[in-house]
Amino acid sequence: MFKPAFISRLSLRSRFIALIATLIFATTLLLGWVAARETAHQLESNIGYAASESAYQMVDKLDRSMDARVKEVKLLLGIQALTNDNDLSVLREQLELLQSNHNVVSWIGFTNPEGIIQVATDGTLEGESIAARPVFIEGRQALWVGDVHEALLLAKLLPNPSGEALKFVDIATPVTDQNGELRGVLAVHLSWEWARYVENSMLSPSVHQQDTEMLLLSADNTVLLGPAEMIGQPLNTLKHLPSRDNPTPQWAIETWPSGERFVTGYTRSSGFEDFPGLGWVAVSRQPIATAFAPVKQLQAAIMGTGVLLALVFALIGWIIASRMVAPLTRLARAADRIKEGENGDTIPLESGSPELKRLSTSMRNMVDRLLVQNYTINRLEDLANTDPLTGLPNRAFLNQYLQLAIPEAERNLQSMAVIFIDLDGFKQVNDELGHHAGDLLLIEITQRLKNALRSGDVVARLGGDEFVMVLKTKPENLEMLTHEVSKRLLNAIADPILLPENEQATVGCSLGAAWWPQHGHHINTVMKLADVALYTAKSQGKHQLVIHTP
Catalytic residue among 387, 457, 465, 531: 465
Dihedral angle over CA of 332, 378, 373, 328, nearest 10: 0
When computed from its CA atoms, the radius of gyration of the chain, rounded to whole angstroms, is: 36
Give the whole-angstrom CA distance, residue 270 versus residue 278: 8
User: How many Cβ atoms sit within 10 Å of the Cβ of residue 239?
Assistant: 8
Q: What is the DSSP letter of 542?
A: S
Where helices occur in 105-161 by DSSP H, the ranges are 134-139
What values do phi and psi take at 518, rounded to 5?
Answer: -60, -35
Residue type, 462: L
Candidates 426, 424, 440; CA nearest to 500 is 440
Catalogue the E-assigned strands of 218-268.
Answer: 223-225, 250-255, 261-268
**CA nearest neighbour of 40 among 340, 293, 310, 342:** 293
CA distances from residue 34 to 272, 280, 306, 309 in whole angstroms, order as listed: 45, 41, 10, 15
- Asked if residues 471 and 485 have their Cβ atoms less than 8 Å apart, the reply is yes
Three-state helix/strand/coil letters over 359-428:
HHHHHHHHHHHHHHHHHHHHHHHHHHCECCCCCCECHHHHHHHHHHHHHHHHHCCCEEEEEEEEEECHHH
CA distance 503 to 434: 11
Strands 415-424 and 281-287 come out as unpaired
Is residue 465 annotated as part of the catalytic site, yes or no? yes
Phi-psi domain of 411 (left: phi exceeds 0; alpha: psi -120 through 50; beta: other): alpha
Strand-pair category, 545-547 with 508-516: parallel
State the Cα–Cα distance between residues 84 and 78, nearest whole angstrom.
12
CA–CA separation, 47 and 42 (whole Å): 9
Q: Are strands 458-463 and 250-255 parallel, antiparallel or unpaired?
A: unpaired
CA-to-CA dists, residue 546 to 126, 471, 481, 513, 531, angstroms: 63, 16, 14, 6, 10
Which one, of 488, 475, 465, lies nearest residue 417 by Cα? 475
The catalytic site residues sit at 465
